[in-house]
């Protein structure tokens, strides 16, 4: 429901109204949490086509969650509850997506720390150490089809792990799948790990997977930003960038094609800070080196959220030379994803949403000559980055369907 209020009203579900509930959450995670009179809410604001409201909304925003934003597009921002009145006074319509993002993060942490371990590895989110261990297990259990490789190191010295799957037959098509350039997008880490897992463990029982593995040399990098990802577990659930000098760099603005163009920033505290120069960050440089060394032909960069299937260009309205092919392959991917659980992913060129320079997808196509897509995973809106664990496996089904469909349609 869209709202217009004349005064600030805190939109909270009943379970958030009790200070006792907050105290219980605090005791479970053994962290002293000060109960504020004001909360940070994730709010979707309707923006005019002329974008006359953009400056006001972004001036109030503590964080901007919309990856794509521009005139006429709703803008997902984090604001103090007290500032909802200012949106209303300006005549803007808005709806609260997450009433208290900090409480949502605390509740998620409590759930993870207190959940009884089940047999299903994908029943809950995992941190970088657990994901690394899972990759190592897959490589050890299936050495004929899988190998684990370090492709570089993060700023803090964490290894950037990649699984190489298949590639045992002559003429295998080289392909790259990566996730978690943005630290807070936990579902992308789980989906990329799950895709690798399914390709390895279902080889003997699923003909489509066997065909894929036999004809493809796939590289999977589940966590391209391990420092930021761990920081989102330990300190700030909504951290986006890497950990460069504390302020961080947006890795998906650090690639050389259209580096520094619209949609990135020179301000170090900006969520879309581009870095000092293209490939200034070792994490982005490691992805570049892997893609060039392996001469990848196909590429998918997994993100969240929005349920979008995007192809180049992101930085210019000029159609990509392969626009029609992108659209045709993308349609096959979107159809395959929909067939799994009836979830729709909207297909378009990135620039149709918002001009963005320095992205990996534009670089993979423009510099590495790969057919490259960005997939914004679940949800469409709603819960934002804190997605219930029950949605991990269904979202994995959609991600795997996209990977298989792109490879099948490529021939």
Q: Which residues form the catalytic set?
A: 376
In this structure, what token pair is assigned to residue 321?
């030379």
Measured CA to CA, the distance from residue 48 to residue 74 in angstroms comes to: 9
Is there a contact between 320 and 365 (Cβ–Cβ < 8 Å)?
yes
Measured CA to CA, the distance from residue 273 to residue 253 in angstroms comes to: 7
Measured CA to CA, the distance from residue 163 to residue 184 in angstroms comes to: 22
What interhelical angle do 392-410 and 207-215 show, nearest 10? 60
List the one residue out of 52, 53, 67 whose CA is nearest residue 381: 67
Distance of CA 181 to the CA centre of its chain: 7
Handedness of CA 272, 244, 399, 296 (dihedral sign): positive
Report how far apart the first and last C-alpha atoms of the chain are (Å, whole number): 45
What are 96's strand-pairing partners?
43
What are 265's strand-pairing partners?
273
In this structure, what token pair is assigned to residue 147?
């190998």
At which residue do the structure tokens 């479970």 appear?
28
Burial of 217 (0-12, 13-18, 19+ CB in 10 A): buried
- Alpha helices, H only, 167-206: 186-201
């Amino acid at each position: 429901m869209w709202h217009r209020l004349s005064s600030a009203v805190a939109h909270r579900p009943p379970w958030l109204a009790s200070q006792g509930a907050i105290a219980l959450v605090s005791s479970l995670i053994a962290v002293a949490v000060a109960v504020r009179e004001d909360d940070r809410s994730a709010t979707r604001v309707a923006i005019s086509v002329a974008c006359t409201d953009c400056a006001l909304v972004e001036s109030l925003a503590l964080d901007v969650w919309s990856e794509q934003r521009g005139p006429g597009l709703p803008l997902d921002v984090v604001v103090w509850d007290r500032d909802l009145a200012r949106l209303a006074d300006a005549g803007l319509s808005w709806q609260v997506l997450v009433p208290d993002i900090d409480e949502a993060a605390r509740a998620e942490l409590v759930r993870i720390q207190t959940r009884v371990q089940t047999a299903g590895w994908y029943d809950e989110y995992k941190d970088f150490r657990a994901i690394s261990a899972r990759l190592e297990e897959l490589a050890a259990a299936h050495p004929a089809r899988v190998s684990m490789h370090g492709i570089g190191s993060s700023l803090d010295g964490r290894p950037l792990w990649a699984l190489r799957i298949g590639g045992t037959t002559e003429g295998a098509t080289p392909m790259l799948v990566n996730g978690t350039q943005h630290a807070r997008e936990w579902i992308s880490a789980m989906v990329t790990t799950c895709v690798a897992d399914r390709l390895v463990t279902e080889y003997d029982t699923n003909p489509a997977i066997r065909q894929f593995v036999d004809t493809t040399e796939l590289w999977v990098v589940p966590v391209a930003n391990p420092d930021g990802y761990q920081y989102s577990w330990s300190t700030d659930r909504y951290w986006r960038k890497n950990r460069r000098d504390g302020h961080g760099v947006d890795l998906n603005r650090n690639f050389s094609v259209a580096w520094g163009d619209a949609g990135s920033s020179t301000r170090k505290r900006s969520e879309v800070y581009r870095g000092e120069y293209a490939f200034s960050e070792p994490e982005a440089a490691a992805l570049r080196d892997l893609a060039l060394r392996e001469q990848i032909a196909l590429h998918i960069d997994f993100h969240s959220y929005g349920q979008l299937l995007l192809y180049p260009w992101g930085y210019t309205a000029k159609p990509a030379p392969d626009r029609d092919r992108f659209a045709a392959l993308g349609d096959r991917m979107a159809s395959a994803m929909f067939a799994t659980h009836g979830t729709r992913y909207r297909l378009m060129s990135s620039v149709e949403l918002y001009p963005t320079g320095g992205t990996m997808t534009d670089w993979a196509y423009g510099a590495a000559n790969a057919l490259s897509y960005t997939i914004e995973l679940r949800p469409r809106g709603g819960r934002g980055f804190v997605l219930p664990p029950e949605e991990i496996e269904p979202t994995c089904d959609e991600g795997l369907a996209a990977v298989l469909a792109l490879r099948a349609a490529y021939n």
